[in-house]
Amino acid sequence: MTLKDRIALRLKALFAGVALSKKSVEAVAEKLAKGLTDESTDEDIDGKLNERNELFSFEDQKKHDDYLAGKAAKEASDKAAADKSAAEKAASEGKVDIPEDAPAWLKPLLEAQAATTKALTDQIAAIQTEKVGNTRREQFIQSMKGTSADYQTRELKKFDRMAFEKDEDFTEFLEETKDDHASAIQDDANENLGVDRPVGGAGGNTKKVVVATDTELDAVMENL
């Protein structure tokens, strides 16, 4: 057994509660070996270890080791995340990094794979966009329940030319158009489904008032 191995063993025995990193143990053994010889006893080694502990405790050394280990782990994790993000971005854009030492036959295969990935990504994005658009259109149609077919056709033409960046924008639009739908329902009732009656009796005001039916009023309330 070498002197450094003996120092490492005595370190673990004397300070059993302190688990230093392998690198730190080797560094301590390397430094203390310079003041000892192969003939040094365990007591000699323990004395040097205690002196070292007085200068910079092995407890503090352990804390420093833990800090360095945590820092290295975080840097590795951040690098892996950055590499993954860059690879995903390159794939979505149809780009691919070819190693300089890669064989010539590999480049077209990697480029074809990247192109396929981009095509699939674009297709999925288009499907998702279309799905969201259809869902919003259906909600808008539902919000116009009770209005005339002409009104709905006219409003849908306007709606199809609109674009909503966020769900909040669409929700706000639905709220803002509720009163318009209710007014349209009441206007239709006044024009087509109301009952005329004179106001003010004989010789009074001849202006006519149209009364909406219960069904029409229910339709209005559903949209409020």
- pLDDT values of the chain reduced to their tens digit, one per residue, 224 residues: 899 999 999 999 999 888 899 999 999 999 999 999 999 999 999 999 999 999 999 999 999 999 999 999 999 888 888 767 766 666 556 555 666 666 677 667 767 777 776 666 666 666 565 555 468 888 888 888 888 888 999 998 988 888 887 888 888 988 888 888 888 888 888 886 554 444 444 444 444 444 555 555 566 555 55
Quick one: angle between helices 58-92 and 106-143, nearest 10? 80
**Domain shared by 122 and 215, yes or no:** yes
**Domain shared by 41 and 144, yes or no:** no
**Domain shared by 116 and 12, yes or no:** no
Q: How far apart are CA 173 and CA 133, in angstroms?
A: 14
**Domain shared by 72 and 163, yes or no:** no
Under 8 Å between Cβ of 8 and 29 = yes
Range of the domain at 38: 3-84
**End of a domain among 69, 84, 99?**
84
What the block records as the tokens of 14 is 């004397």
**Domain shared by 125 and 196, yes or no:** yes
61: exposed, middle or buried (C-beta count within 10 Å: 0-12, 13-18, 19+)?
buried
Give the number of other CB atoms < 10 A from CB of residue 35. Answer: 13
**Domain shared by 183 and 135, yes or no:** yes
Amino acid symbol at 198: P
Q: How many domains does the chain have?
A: 2
- Give the pLDDT score at 140: 87
Collapsing DSSP to helix, strand or coil, 4 comes out as helix
136 is a domain residue: yes
Quick one: angle between helices 106-143 and 167-188, nearest 10? 30
What the block records as the tokens of 192 is 């087509």
For tokens 């056709």, the residue is 153
